[in-house]
Amino acid sequence: MSEPGVTPPVPLVPPVGSIGWVDLTVPDADAVRDFYSAVVGWLPTPLSMGEYADYLMQAPEAAAPQAGICHARGPNAGIPPVWLVYLVVADLDASLAACRSRGGEVLSGPRGAGGTARFAIIRDPAGAVCALHQP
């Protein structure tokens, strides 16, 4: 519990069970970047992917980016063009096993996400798609 008028520090790692990130993967990330810059006011920062750039999107007064807009290339080639939420889990392998045992499907991964972080994209039994992320 924090004192009145004192903002508690923002955790560096989102808590387990929270939405840790959101990405949109599309064939033409440059056009969609410009769309969301005009419609929402987000400021893009290129993120080098080698031969092309994806984008981190940030509100003008925010301390950190809120979303990513990615090209459907390379490892992202099979990701559908939907806003993909990344749900934080404590143990990715255990969560993927639980997904499969409860009628879900692992669509992609697991794969690295920088440092020791890993993620996988799953489909739940109702057909909804999300990513599970272990920081």
User: Same CATH topology for 19-76 and 82-135?
Assistant: yes
Question: Where along the chain do its domains lie?
Answer: 19-76, 82-135
pTM beyond 0.85, yes or no: no
Top CATH class, 19-76: alpha beta
Dig out the tokens for 89 from the structure: 């889990």
* Helix and strand element counts for the chain (H, E): 2, 8
Give the residue among 67, 76, 70, 73 at the shortest CA–CA distance from 54. Answer: 70
- CATH number given to 82-135: 3.10.180.10
- 3-class DSSP state for residue 29? helix
pLDDT digits (tens, 9 = 90+) for 104-117: 999 988 988 777 88
* CA 55/CA 66 separation, integer angstroms: 11
Kindly report the average pLDDT of the chain as a whole number.
Answer: 89
pLDDT digits (tens, 9 = 90+) for 48-69: 999 999 999 999 999 999 999 9
